Every structure is written in structure tokens, then in C-alpha cells.
Structure 1
Amino acid sequence: MQDNTPVFDTALTRLLGCRHPVISAGMGGPARAELAVAVSEAGGFGLLGMVGEAPEVIECEIAAVRATTSQPFGVNLIPFRTDPALLDAQLDVCRAAQVPAMCFFWNVMPDVVKRAKDAGALVLWQVGSLDEALAAQQAGVDAVIAQGVEAGGHVRGRIGIMALLPELTQRLHVPVVASGGFATGGGLIAALALGAAGIHCGTLFVATHESFAHDYHKQRIVDARAGDTVHTDVYAINWPPGSPVRVLANSVTREAGDHLFGNHPHVLPREEIAHDDQGPIYKFSTISPLRDTVGDMEKMALFAGESSALVERCAPAAEVIARLMNEAADAAARVRAASAH
């Protein structure tokens, strides 16, 4: 069937070989093969969130994507919080599978960029500042993802995306992708107007049918209003100290009161509140609820960005992307009409 969705040809679509300048974030847990396939099949660029996963799991997820689609996709890893031996094995699996693209996050590591490039993969690195962006470009990445403080999950950015984005696009010669606060076609047009080559969305795709997130997490995003998220490091277990996140407000963030920051993962108590097929999940853990999670999900890390206020319902990923692109076309037409007067 012919796809009549409006097309915005950008440096990102040309680089990645996708139809639309929309990347689904490689969220550890929710972003498995089902979501990556749905996004890539719909013309976006799907990332597998393989943070901390065993090589065998990554191999299986890559195979599952390839068994379902011939469209390009990528794998997301976080070297900063991965044991070096495990990271080596993860990179080896991606190299053997000839993954077309790899996305990384947190501290820029030039040796990791080189390994991925030597394996023939395109490399994207998500950053939170100009200095990190310049370091990533110097290391040889093909594109930079600029993360604003509005973003959900682990947050590297410290300033708003509308200030960070133009600072990066004015200084870099590689494509820059905007992340944090984007869930509408109007947002895509705003990002393009500021020099971005596309947008990187996490919260929007958590609340899709294909996401492996638990239905409770999805519904909390749908129900969220502006101001319902909290920037904090109270969810710290499993990550190094000083790694803030953005989550939906809950009983844990309310109990934290004035102590939303300065929480150390090795000091926080180990109180089991839930479990999944990987074992127990502790209060203050960075593990979010997935389809197979059982327990007190209200207390878990319900990762969500400020764009959660813009997510009105849970829908198939293809429908989400089609809506984004149709909204973008309408927004672009409104801009043209306004400038004609």
C-alpha cells in the first residue's frame, strides 16, 4: 500500500536511509524489537534499547528485527554505565551482525566511536552540552543528538532544548537531532527551524502498543499534564552517582521532599517493591515497569519527559508517526501562510 504521509527530506533521513526525520529512542526495557520494527516500518528510525543486556539478548533482538523488516535500524548502548568486559561483548555482537547504526549516550568515548565505525556502523552520540557535542564530532560521529533538560529517562542535558539546539547547530558540521519535549508535528517544525535535522522521541514511543513498557506506565504518561514530571537523582540504584533522571511524580518523589538530588546509589536502602523475570526490583532502582513486571509499580521509575503532557492516548507506532508528519505539514503550511501576510 502506498504511503501518502508527508515527507521532510533532511540530512538525517539521507544519512540513516529512513523516510521521516524521527528517531525512536533506544530506551532500555521498552525499546525492543517489536517497537524498533514498527517505527522503522513506518518510515522512522527505530533503535533497540540494549543497555546492560547480555550479548545473547542483543543477538536475538537484532535477529528479530531483521526477520520482520528490511528497513534500517540501530542499537543503543551506554558505555559509561556498562562493565568494560560486557561492553566489549556487546560491541562484538553488533559488529558480527553488521548493525547499520549505533547510538551511544553519556560520556563521549572516542575509542567506542572508532570501534563502531571500524565495524561499518553509522554512529550517533547523545549529548547534553556544546562541549560534549564538539567532543563527539571530534571523535568522528556521524550525527549528534542534543538532549535538553525536558527529556525523560536519564538526563544529560541541563538547559532547555530551545537554547541548546541552536548553540549546537551553529557550531557543528554534522547533523544535529533534537531530543527533549518533542511529541507533535509542530515540535518537529520548530526543531527544523532551529537547524535540527530531525527529532529523537522517547516518551512518545513508550506509550505505543509495541512498546514493552507496562500498561500502567503507558497510562500514567497518557494521563499526565504539564508539570507532572520531576527532575531528580532519587532513582539511582543501578547507575553511577550523579546521574539524574526525569520521571512522573509519585509517592517516592513526594517523600523525597527537598532531597531530590544528592542521593547515592550505594547508600539507598534495598527495599524490594516488585520483580520481573530478571529478579527483584528495589525502590529507588532505575528499572522501569515492563510487561512482565509484577508488584508496586506506582513506586517505580516511571520515566517520562515534559512532552508527556502532549501524549493523549496509547496508539500504534505507525499511527503516531503518521500523525507527527501530517501535523508537521500543517504546521509548515501555517508558517508559510503567516509569513505571506
Structure 2
Amino acid sequence: MGGPARHELAAAVARAGGFGMLGMVRESPDLIEREVAALRTQTNRPFAVNLIPAATDRTLLRAEMDACLDLDVPAFTFFWDPVPEAIARAKAAGALVLHQVGSLQAAREAEAAGADVLIAQGVEAGGHVHGTSGALVLTEQVAREAKVPVVASGGFATGAGLVAALALGAQGIQCGTAFLATRESYAHDYHKQRLVGAGAEDTVFTDAYVINWPKGAPVRVLRNSVIDALGHRLTGHDPADLPREVVATDDGRPLLRQGTDSPLRGTEGDLEAMALYAGQSTAFVDAIPSAEEVIDRIVAEAEAALDRLASLTRMTEQTE
């Protein structure tokens, strides 16, 4: 989730029984140190730090990992193309490595490089999307081959979705959008309110927001004025050709109209024009609860879904 997943959210998820992740993509070692320290004042449960080795300057990545390893961070979650050197370094230090992938081939490469957990990301996911397959198909593909645990991601925000993922062979689900719209999320209130009012059909798969990322790095965002102005030209954008137009600032840092920054709590400017990341699971977001309430709801819904399945099984047995 990048910026919105600061210590407040990660700690709340961990305390509620989930696996909290700090979104520290391209952040400074100083911020990583502060966020890890703040998280540890709120919980002693395990957590992971999210980095993207394949889309981060090597010098910065080395400094990020140095900071994490000096702090004895227990786990890393990586994304995009697997970088074996980063996985090996984390593993050598005794850290758990989760790797989010968007294709069966990427899953094979990540597992071969030593990943302990594979996160199969479907095209329904919000934010950066690495593949083109739906989550249900990709999860089952990966689960059939992998010798490590698999987690399903992309469009999951309910207990029924969790049960479906388990049926496909996954051991759990990863949720982004559902936690983006929580009280603990570091996302701007404007972004949260847009999620509450949006449906699955309001999300768009595009590479229009690509400045600061490699060419051909699509995202899923909420439709806005920038997307509407593109008409049918939703993909095929080269970051080198896009204008560097400042539309907002965050702590004095200029943010570009077609950059990959999403609005955070302190962001000021034309928030409507920014990348408002959202997965298709925004269809199930109708309020801004606490992270604990989200987890409790998902668990309760999963139990109800399992009860329904058990009831159907009993009815079938009685009619035979």
C-alpha cells in the first residue's frame, strides 16, 4: 500500500490478528527507523516491511535494507520482478521473505530465489498491478505448483472471498483497499471518502500514473479528471514523455499530476487529480471503520460462509 501503510495501521492490523505491513517503498532509512520504532511501541507481534527492489535505486535499496536489518525487522514483503540478490540478503539475515507476483512465471522465479511465501496478485488489485490474470485463476495456478504457502491478493475484502481463496489452495488473503479506508490508514480523508462512494466499475486499469516508475507499469485507480481526459488512451504512456506539472505538495515536496504518489494525511493541492489507488474490492467499502473492525468482520463473514457450505453439504447428504 505504500505511504498509507504507516505504523498506526500496521500495528492495528497486527494487534487484531492480521499480519501488519509497513509501506516503506523508496522511503529514507530515517523514516524506516522511526516507523519501526513507533510500531514496536504499539505491538510486539510480527510485521513486515514492504520494499520494491526492482523499482528502487540500488543505493537507496541498499540503505533501506541496511536500516531494516540493523533493526532486526522480522520479515520483508517484496513486489514486482524478483531480485534474487535482495531475497538472498534478507534470508541470510534470518528474515522471512514474502514476494508478491503477478504471473505464474514470476512465482516460479521468486520461489526459486528463496521466497518463503508467494502473494498471487490478480488484476483486480489496486495500486501497481504486475500481471493481467484474475486473482482466482492466478491463485489456483500458483497454489498448484508452489511448495511454499500462497496468499491471494486482488479484489479480496470479505469473508466469502477468504473462503474462496482457501478453496483455491491459498493459506490466506492480502487486503489493501479494505484497510486503505480505515481510521488508522495514513491516506488522506478525501481518498477514503472516494473509496466509500465508489464501486468496482469506478476503478480503471491504466499506466497514466507512471512518472517515477519504469515504462509499462500499470496501476488501478479511481476514475477522475485525468483519466476522463484520456478518453480511450488508458495505456501506452511513457514517463519520459509526460509533463512535469506540480499539482500538490506533501511536507514541502512537490507532487506531479501523473506521478505515482497518492494523497496522504498532510497532502495539499489538487487531490482529485492525483493517483487515487483502489482495487475492485472498493465495492465492499461503505464506511471508514477501524482496522480491527475490518478483520473482525472478515472473520465473522468467513465463519458464516463456512456454515452455509456445511449446511449445503448436509442437505445434499440427506437427499441422496
State TM-score, norm by structure 1.
0.91
1:233-312 correspondence to structure 2 within 5 Å: 233-312=207-286
Q: Indicate the SS of the match to 2:240.
A: coil
- What's the CA shift for 1:280? 1.1
Deviations for 1:96-122, whole angstroms, at most 9, x for unmatched residues?
A: 111111000001011111100111110
Quote the offset at 1:225 in angstroms. 1.4
Structure 1 segments of 4 or more deviating over 3 A? none
Q: Can you list the C-alpha shifts for 1:245-293, whole angstroms capped at 9, x where unaligned?
A: 0000111111111211111112101111111115111111110001001
Q: Is the 8 A contact 2:48 2:76 kept in 1?
A: yes
Matched, 1:184 2:177: no
Aligned length: 315
Report the secondary structure of 2:49's partner residue.
strand
- Partners of 1:240 and 1:313 lie apart in 2 by 34
Alpha-carbon displacement from aligned partner over 1:2-34 (angstroms, at most 9, x marks no partner): xxxxxxxxxxxxxxxxxxxxxxxxx11100000
CA distance in 2, matches of 1:129, 1:335: 30
1:98 matched to 2:72: yes
**What's the counterpart of residue 199 of structure 1?**
173
Please state which structure has a larger fraction of its residues in helix: 2
User: Which stretches in structure 1 are left out of the alignment for 5+ residues?
Assistant: 1-26
Give ranges in structure 2 of 5+ residues lacking alignment. Answer: 316-320
- Corresponding position of 2:90: 116
Partner of 1:314: 288
How far the C-alpha of 1:157 sits from its partner, in A, is: 2.1
Trace 1:62-141 onto structure 2 (pairs within 5 A). Answer: 62-141=36-115
Give RMSD over aligned pairs: 0.7
- 1:69-121 deviation per Cα after TM superposition (whole angstroms, max 9, x unaligned): 11111100001111101101111111111111100000101111110011111
Counterpart residue identity of residue 122, structure 1: L
How big is the shift at 1:220? 0.5
1:159 matches 2:116: no
- 2:82–2:110 Cα contact (<8 Å) kept: yes
Which whole-Å CA distance do the structure 2 matches of 1:101 and 1:171 have between them? 23
2:35 corresponding residue in structure 1:
61
2:127 corresponds to which letter in structure 1?
G
The AA in structure 2 aligned to 1:38 is A
What's 2:20 paired with?
46
Which residue identity does 1:145 align to in structure 2? I
Give, as a single letter, the amino acid of the residue that structure 2 aligns with 1:153.
Answer: G
Q: What letter corresponds to residue 288 of structure 2 in structure 1?
A: C
Following TM superposition, by how much is the alpha carbon of 1:46 offset from its aligned partner in structure 2, in angstroms? 0.4
8 A contact 2:200–2:279 mirrored in 1: no
Q: Partner letter of residue 128 of structure 1? A: G
